Structure 1
Amino acid sequence: MIAETPEPPYYAVIFSSTRTEGDHGYSDMADRMIELAKQQNGFLGIETARNDLGITVSYWSSLHAIKNWKENVEHSVARNKGRKDWYKNFVTRIARVEQDYRFDKE
């Protein structure tokens, strides 16, 4: 599903990753992180896709909101478990969205 975001500017956190074999609790934790992120001040939406490469883009109102999310205790536990058990590699990029365009057929 495509996130409904406000008029720019806002921020995107782009998380690209490749996974290790097996789930090892990953799916449950990923669902929990989405629910937890939705509760954070400044959270605007999320889009995620996974094949051989996983990409999750979360949208935030400010850099301060992103910093607070990064410092969330439960999120920190998930990140540490990810490094240990779930990811072969990953990169996180933070970008300011200056413009967006939308097309809806229906």
Structure 2
Amino acid sequence: MNDHAEAPVLPVEAFEPPYYVAVFTAVRTPDQSGYSETNARMEELVRDIPGYLGMDYAQSPGGLAITVGYFRDAEALSEWRTNVEHRAAQKRGQAEWYRNYTLHVAKVERSHGFTRAEAPQGPPAG
């Protein structure tokens, strides 16, 4: 949700289904005054919600930003959706920060992941 410059390049792990995802896809306006601070606050808030599992973020070179929030159950997602500060940030986003956006919410029924095993490091060739 924030500018994510220092976020690790690892996806959120695969969880045992079912769980929920909220996929927020947006194109921002040129004026981003206050955006970073508000996003940092939103990340603080969402982490405190019981049932929040994590977040993935990506941005295309053309400016399309995608944030995927993961929630253990519908109640956790509902708590986030109805949070008073989050609602105020949404209104400000519509008024100032977003040219357009979509939100898709889905129940995950299947999930798996993969991590490549690191090759053992041998002595340098020489």
TM-score over 0.5 for the alignment? Answer: yes
Gaps of 5+ in 2: 1-9, 118-126
Which stretches of structure 1, 4 residues or longer, exceed 3 Å deviation after superposition? none
The 3-state SS of whatever aligns with 1:11 is strand
What is the deviation of 1:63?
1.4
Q: Which residue of 2 aligns with 1:73?
A: 84
Q: Which residue of 2 aligns with 1:94?
A: 105
Normalized per residue, which structure has more strand?
A: 1
User: Are 1:11 and 2:20 matched, yes or no?
Assistant: yes
1:64 aligned partner, one-letter code:
E
**What is the rounded CA distance, in whole Å, between the counterparts of 1:29 and 1:87 in structure 2?**
14
Identity among equivalent positions (%) equals 38
**What is the rounded CA distance, in whole Å, between the counterparts of 2:41 and 2:31 in structure 1?**
18
> Which of 31, 53, 56 is 1:44 aligned to?
53
What is the deviation of 1:11?
0.4
Normalized per residue, which structure has more helix?
A: 1
Q: Deviations over 1:35-71 (max 9, x none)?
A: 2101012101111112310100000111121111111
TM-score by length of 1: 0.92
**What is the rounded CA distance, in whole Å, between the counterparts of 1:89 and 1:7 in structure 2?**
33
Q: Which residue of 2 aligns with 1:104?
A: 115
- When the two chains are superposed, the root-mean-square deviation of aligned CA atoms in Å is 1.2
**What is the rounded CA distance, in whole Å, between the counterparts of 1:90 and 1:20 in structure 2?**
11
Gaps of 5+ in 1: none
User: Are 1:83 and 2:94 matched, yes or no?
Assistant: yes
User: Are 1:54 and 2:65 matched, yes or no?
Assistant: yes
Which moved further from structure 2: 50-59 or 21-30?
21-30
**What is the rounded CA distance, in whole Å, between the counterparts of 2:55 and 2:109 in structure 1?**
17
The 3-state SS of whatever aligns with 2:20 is strand
Judge conservation of contact 1:19–1:87 (CA < 8 Å) in 2.
yes
TM-score by length of 2: 0.79
